[in-house]
Chain A
C-alpha cells in the first residue's frame, strides 16, 4: 500500500494556504498508510550563501541543547535553529559539506533528514493526522509540498524508515510500492560511498538518485537510469527546488493520478486526495503513463 501526494501552487497568491490545501491530501491517504507519515515542504528560501538543514533526533532534549553555539564555535559560522519537537530546522552560512561532516563526526544522535535552500522535511511514525498536527502542516505556507503515508512492507516502522528521503540539495523522494533488488543495489552503492541509515528499500532508490546526480546527471537522466536499474513496483514522486517529478515503473501496478488547473498541479495515489482542492471537479485529470518521466518546473506546465 502506501499513499503519496504532491501539490504545486502555480498561483502565487495561494501560497499562504499551501498547508491548508495539502494537509487534507495527506490525511485522506491514511487508509493506505497508517504506520507513519512525512512531508517535504518548500518555503522560506535562504540566499545562496546559506544552507538550510532539517535534522531529527530520538533524544531531542539532548540533541538540540546548545547545538547552535557549539556549531558556531566549531565551524566559525552563524547558526539559526528552530526546534519543532524532535525535528529542528537549522540555517547556517557554513559550507554545507563541512556541516554534514561535522554532524556525522560529532553528533551521532542527530540524523540529517534533508538539506537545501528551501526544503524542509518532517516525518514521524503515527497516523498522518497526528504527524500533520505535530508539525503544524495545516498552517504552513510555501510554494509546493510532497508527502507520504506509509504501510510498511520491506522494513521496520521507524521514523528513519519513513518517507520522504533526501536525495540531494532541495531534492527528496517518496515512493509507493516495493523494490526487489534493493539489497544488491545497496551493496553496490555503499561501495560507491553512499551512506544508508536504514534497511529501507526506498532509501536505496533515493541513494541511487543521489549517486547519479553526484556524477553530474540531470534529474531526468537519473530517473531514466533508475527505470533501468530499479527492479520492482513503484510510483515515485520527487520533490525539486521548483516543482516535482512523477515516474511509474513499466508495469504500473501502483496507482497514480494527476490533476491540473490554472492555479495548481497535483498528484496523488488516489483521486479522493485531490477532490477537495478548489476546482478539482473541472480540472484536467489524467493518469501518468508507465515508464514515462513527468516533471513540473516553475517554467511551464507538466510534460
Chain B
C-alpha cells in the first residue's frame, strides 16, 4: 500500500500521481493522508484503484470517478462523487450538499447523513444513504436509484424523471410530480441487492418507493401550478 501526503505534495500532486499510473499497474492500493478538507481530492480517476482518503474531504471528492473504489474516512464536502461514471465512492461520515450530482453510474454509499440536493440530476448512479437526506434530494433525477435508510427532507424528487427512490423513514414532503408508488417484487429485489452492495443492515420490506407521476414531461397548461 502506497501513501501520499497531501500536505506535502498538494491536491495536484496527489491527483497527478493517481492519473499517471501505467495501465495494468500492480500499485492499486493507495492511502491519502493529511486531507485537511481540501477540494477535488481523488478526482478524475480512470483505473481500478483502491483509494483511501484518510480524513475529512472538501468539495468534489471522487468526482468524475471511473473504475476506482474510493473510501473517504471522515465527512465529505459539497458535490461528493459528482458526475461519477463507474466504480464506488464510500463516505464513512456525512456528506454535504449535492452528493452524487449528475452522476452517470457506479455506487455512492454515504454511511451517515447526506445534506440537501443529494442525487440532484442523477443520471444512472446508485446512491445508498445510511442516514437521512436533506431538502430537494433527487431534484430532476433522471435515472438510477436513491436509497435512504433514514428520513427525507422537503420536496423529495421534485420534477423527477425516471430515477427510483426508496425511503425507509419519513418523507417531509414530496416535490412536484413525485408520488409514492407500488413496491413490486422486482423493486424489492433491486433494493435488497443495493443494500447488500452497500453493506447496509436494513430490511427492504420497511421501505417505500417513490417515482415520477410523469405529468410534467411536457408542458400542459392544466399543470401550470406544479411547474
Chain A residues near B (Cβ < 8 Å):
252, 255, 257, 270-276, 281, 285-287, 289-290
Contacts and interface: CB of A to CB of B under 8 A. Distances in A.
Contact of B37 (A274, A286, A289, A290): A274
Pick the 8 closest A-B CB pairs, nearest first. Answer: A272-B37, A271-B37, A275-B36, A275-B37, A287-B115, A272-B58, A285-B75, A271-B56
Interface residues of B, number: 20
Contact of A255 (B55, B78, B134, B135): B78
Contacts of A276: 36
A252 B153 CA distance: 13
15 contacts: A252-B134, A255-B96, A255-B97, A270-B37, A271-B75, A272-B36, A272-B37, A275-B37, A276-B36, A281-B74, A285-B75, A285-B93, A285-B94, A289-B134, A290-B134
B96 A257 contact: yes
A149 to B, nearest CB: 16
Given A270-B59, A285-B75, 11 more contacts: A255-B78, A270-B39, A270-B77, A271-B77, A272-B37, A272-B39, A275-B37, A276-B36, A287-B94, A290-B116, A290-B134
Interface in B20-42: 36-39
Query: Do most interface residues of chain B lie in helix, strand or loop, or is the interface mixed?
Result: loop
Contacts of B96: 255, 257, 287
A222 to B, nearest CB: 25
Contacts, number: 47
A281 B36 CA distance: 8
Contacts of A289: 134
A289 B37 CA distance: 20
Contacts of A290: 116, 134-135
Interface in B35-63: 36-39, 55-56, 58-59
Interface of B: 36-39, 55-56, 58-59, 74-75, 77-78, 93-94, 96-97, 115-116, 134-135
Given A255-B96, A281-B55, A287-B115, A272 B78 contact: no
A271 B135 CA distance: 21
Nearest to B56: A271
B211 to A, nearest CB: 24
A275 B94 CA distance: 16
Contact of B56 (A252, A255, A285, A287): A285
Contacts of B135: 252, 290
Contacts of A271: 37, 56, 58, 75, 77
A276 B37 CA distance: 10
B125 to A, nearest CB: 22
A281 B59 contact: no
Contacts of B115: 287
Of the listed residues B56, B58, B93, B116, the one surrounded by the most CB atoms of chain A closer than 10 A to its CB is: B56
Nearest to A256: B96
